[in-house]
Amino acid sequence: EAGVVQSPRYKIIEKKQPVAFWCNPISGHNTLYWYRQNLGQGPELLIRYENEEAVDDSQLPKDRFSAERLKGVDSTLKIQPAELGDSAVYLCASSLNGEVGTEAFFGQGTRLTVV
């Protein structure tokens, strides 16, 4: 069974440019997460989807970040415009459901460098 697939693995952009990350979750998983991991830190939630509905986006910087999960499967996270402080690893994860204690499966992440 395929795991969570993310692309691209690496991205280098200049500040003020837009960037997008793509995530394909495990088949059958209703819940999808985007986490951001800064260097030397643990991942922090940006947004959580239940099917196509964003149920927790309280930590998403909405002035420059946007996300969508069309048809409740694949998801895209966008930053426009990017800032130097956005350099981080962006991790996508999925789980069967959003109940407390449900195991989340993570992709390999996209490492973003903003120069």
Partner 1 sequence: AQKVTQAQTEISVVEKEDVTLDCVYETRDTTYYLFWYKQPPSGELVFLIRRNSFDEQNEISGRYSWNFQKSTSSFNFTITASQVVDSAVYFCALSENSGYSTLTFGKGTMLLVSP
Interacting residues with partner 1 (CB under 8 A): 3, 31, 33, 40-45, 48, 55-56, 89, 91, 93, 95, 97-109, 111
5 or 13: CB nearest partner 1: 5
> Least separation, in Å, of the C-beta of 48 and partner 1?
6
> Least separation, in Å, of the C-beta of 81 and partner 1?
25
* CB 22 within 8 Å of CB 112: no
81 or 87: CB nearest partner 1: 87
Residue type, 77: L
**Dist. CA 70–CA 78, nearest whole Å:** 14
> Least separation, in Å, of the C-beta of 27 and partner 1?
18
57 or 81: CB nearest partner 1: 57
> Which structure tokens are listed for 41?
């830190």
**In angstroms, what CA-CA distances link 103 with 3, 11, 60?**
13, 28, 22
**Dist. CA 21–CA 24, nearest whole Å:** 10
> Least separation, in Å, of the C-beta of 79 and partner 1?
19
59 or 81: CB nearest partner 1: 59
Residue carrying the six token digits 């030397």 = 40
